[in-house]
Structure formats: structure tokens, C-alpha cells
Amino acid sequence: MSRVIIAKTGLDGHWRGTLLVSRALRDAGFEVIMLGMARSEEIVSAAVDEDADLVGLNVGGRVEVVERILDDLAAAAPGVAVFAGGVVPPWVLRRLEARGVEVYPPGSKLGDIVAAARRLTRRPPSDASRAENALQDHEERRDERKAEQ
């Protein structure tokens, strides 16, 4: 079972988003660890100690705080995927996406978030299957787009 850590980057306690997402991930079979409002070092050590596959960051503050967490995670737990959601204005969304972080702003479908979690937690066991995964990713995304139209 894939393990996902959900953490809030800031000290703003509004929780409706994290709770909805956590519940949807649990319903989809993920093991969700709700970390609450956590500092970068707490998120990193939880990711390592809990052997997490994915970290979901609920953003309620500045992008610099998020970027510090991303840097720390990349250094200490490079295999752990990260995605984000929350009050993320478009310019922040673009900045995070530019460094490879998928971002789900308010109004995102839980179905899309769950699909992303599945995609991001698929651990590639070898180079051969990595290519296979990439192909599968491509097809899934194409199907998702079709379903949307």
C-alpha cells in the first residue's frame, strides 16, 4: 500500500482542503499520514521515517517556504514524489510546476488528485519498466483529457 504524507506548510489552520484530500486518498486505498502544520525538517524526517512514497503539501503561505521544503526533501529523500494544493495563486502555481511539482488549486477534482497520487507513487523497478510506465502515464493522461471533453 502506498504511503502518503499530507502536511500544511504554514501556520494557518484552515483544514477543509487537507481533510477532503486525505479522505479521498484513504478511500482510494492509500495509507495517509496527516502531519498537520509541520516545519520543513519535520516533513523531511516523517518522509524518511515513514518510508513515504508521496508528500502532499497544503500551501497556505508563501512560495519560498514551499521551495525550502522541496529543496530539503530533494536532498534528504530524493525518491519521494511531491504534489501540492491550497491557496496557490497562478504565478506560484507556474513556479512550482516549472520545477516539476503538480499543483491542484481550489476547485480541483478529487478524482484528478487521486489519479495523480497513483501516477506519482508508481515506483519504477527498472529502466525497462520505467519506459513502460511513461507510456502508461501518457495513455492515462490522454484518457483523462478525453474523459474531460
Q: What is the distance between the alpha carbons of residues 118 and 95, in angstroms, rounded to a whole number?
A: 23
Which pairs count as long-range contacts for 74-77, CB under 8 Å and 24+ apart, including other chains?
76/44, 76/47, 76/48, 77/44, 77/47, 77/48, 77/52
Shortest Å distance, C-beta 100 to other proteins: 21
User: Where in 19-58 is the site for other proteins (CB under 8 A)?
Assistant: 19-20, 23, 34-37, 39-41
User: Where in 98-117 is the site for other proteins (CB under 8 A)?
Assistant: 105-107, 109-111
Query: Reduced to 3 states, what is the DSSP secondary structure of residue 85?
Result: strand
Q: What is the distance between the alpha carbons of residues 147 and 86, in angstroms, rounded to a whole number?
A: 25
Residue span 1-20 as binding mask against other proteins, x where in contact by CB under 8 A, dash where not: -------xxxxxxxxx-xxx
Nearer to other proteins by Cβ, of 10 and 122: the residue is 10
* Beta carbons of 1 and 31 less than 8 angstroms apart: yes
Choice from 1, 75, 78, 90 touching other proteins (CB under 8 A): 90
**Binding footprint of other proteins on the chain (CB under 8 A):** 8-16, 18-20, 23, 34-37, 39-41, 60-62, 64-65, 87, 89-92, 105-107, 109-111
